[in-house]
Structures are given as structure tokens and as C-alpha cells.
Amino acid sequence: MEITWPIFLKTMCITLFAGMSTGLGGLVVFFTNKDKHSGRFLSTSMGFSAGVMIYISLVEMMQLAREQLGASYGPTKGGLLALFWFAVGLGMAFLIDQLVPEAENPHHVRSSQDLEDAEHASAEEREKFGRAGTIFALAIAIHNFPEGLATLAGGLVDFKVGLGIAIAVALHNIPEGMAVAVPILYASGSRKKAFMYAFLSGLAEPAGALIGLLFLHRILTPELLHSLFALVAGIMIYISFDELLPMAEKYGEHHIALAGLLAGMLFIGAGLEFF
């Protein structure tokens, strides 16, 4: 499959946008006043992001994978191949989760109170927060690699699909940036250092896209690319149900999370018709 320079540039731009949103979350360290409504905002944004990811994965990515693989191998075999790679994606996301210890895993929900407690921590506890923030940054960087790959795969086949993925990833990267920056702020007292850790962890998004392109561009065929679509759809579905929806429930009320979820689906469904 031929990858033109304009397609590459557009894909890398939206991937960079998704990754830099982690740094946007890190900007929270420059604002000391806690917004009493931040829980509702996080709940809505996490539900919204989950809605976008679920819609993109099941309605767009899996459909494209089944159509292309079905055209190449026949409807039944093509559909089973798409389902196989979807299952592989689920398994990959599960294994990544298992490789990262629970306490340092960004996919395991933490309440906002956990971060507020750090403000009153002792010197020893502050050191622990610093280590935790550093590990959060590494863990989030690991999780960001397949997300960069997802945006790459989407952009190469259809830019509007890649853009939809980038929007979903950007939305859920914001609180991940907060999870990195806040502990480091309380440990070091340096807002700049806290922000930089969050920003750098997000650069794993474009790095994942570049590494994926480096290894795959010589062997990239429509069949392989659409198999990759199904695989990435599995990863995104796992992230949605393991990370985003539990976070949405944790930070807000059930109906706020549900409203965000439905709004995300409707938004991206309508948006894909106009992009």
C-alpha cells in the first residue's frame, strides 16, 4: 500500500494533537484552586471519550475490516479473520494491563481525593508521590503506544476515522496528564517539572505511530492494514470498558457518565458524516 507524503503529514499531525493533550492535562498544576465541579467535568469527558471510542471501533473500524477482509477472503472467512484480530487486540490490552502493577496502572481508577491528600503529605510520603508520578508517566507512555498506532491506522485508511480516534484519545489523555503531574508537583514543588513529565508521557502517541510505520510500511497491504484496524478496535474497546467508563462512574454520577457516553456516540456519528 502506497503511503503518500501528504497522508503521512496529516496523520502525524492528528497523532501529535492526541499526544499533546496529555500535556494539556498537566497544565492543572498551574492552577491551585480546585474546582468543585471538576468531578462532573471529568465524568462527562470520560463518558464522552468512551462513546467516541466505542462508536469508532464497532461502527467504523470493524465494519471496514470486515468489508475489506471479506472482499479478499470471502464474507465468512473475512468476518472470522476480523473477529480473530479483534480478539487479539483485546488480549494485547489485557496483557499490557497485567504487566503494569495495579498501583501504578493508569487503567485502575483513583479518586480525586487521593490526589488532594497529597497536599498534606509528609516528606517521606511526598517522595513516594514523586516515584508514583514517574511510574505513572512510564505506564501511560506504554499505554499510549497502541493509541498512536490506532490513529496511524485510521488516518492511513480514512482521515476522518483517524481524526475521530484522535479526538477520543485526546479527551481521555487529559485526566491521565493530571494523574502524572499532580503527584510530581506535590513531591517536587516544581510546576514546570510536573508539566514536563505529563507532556513527555504523551509523546508516546506520535512515537507509536512512527514506530508502527517504520516496521509496517514495507509490508503494508490493504489486508494487513484492515487486520490492524480490527486489532486496534479490540484495544480501544478494552480501554473504554476497563478505564474510561469506570473513571466516568468514579468521578461523577451514573447518569452524568451515561449522558457523556451517549453524547460522544452521537457527536462522532454526526461528525463522521461531515468530516
Across 3-31, average pLDDT: 85
Return the closest-CA partner of residue 235 out of 54, 51, 39. Answer: 54
d(C-alpha 136, C-alpha 173), whole Å: 13
Between 32-46, 113-127, 150-164, 224-238, the lowest mean confidence (pLDDT) is in 113-127
Q: Higher-confidence residue: 45 or 16?
A: 16
Predicted confidence band of residue 209 (pLDDT cuts 50, 70, 90): confident
Burial of 261 (0-12, 13-18, 19+ CB in 10 A): buried
How do residues 132-182 score in pLDDT, each as one tens digit?
A: 556 666 666 766 777 787 788 778 777 888 888 888 788 778 877 876 776
Mean pLDDT of all residues belonging to the chain: 77
What's the whole-number mean pLDDT along residues 100-122? 50
Say if residue 189's pLDDT is above 90: no
* pLDDT at 130 > cutoff 70: no
Q: Distance (Å, rounded) from C-alpha 27 to C-alpha 156?
A: 31
Closest residue by Cα to residue 169 from 209, 212, 134: 209
Range with the poorest average pLDDT among 95-109, 140-154, 166-180, 246-260: 95-109
Phi then psi for residue 191, to 5 deg, are -70, -40
- pLDDT for the residue 32: 47
Per the model's pLDDT, the better-predicted residue between 232 and 135 turns out to be: 232
- Compute the distance between CA of residue 261 and CA of residue 259 in angstroms, rounded to an integer: 5
Q: Which residue has the higher pLDDT, 274 or 152?
A: 152
Q: Map out the domains of the chain as residue ranges.
A: 47-274
Supply 164's cell numbers: 475521530
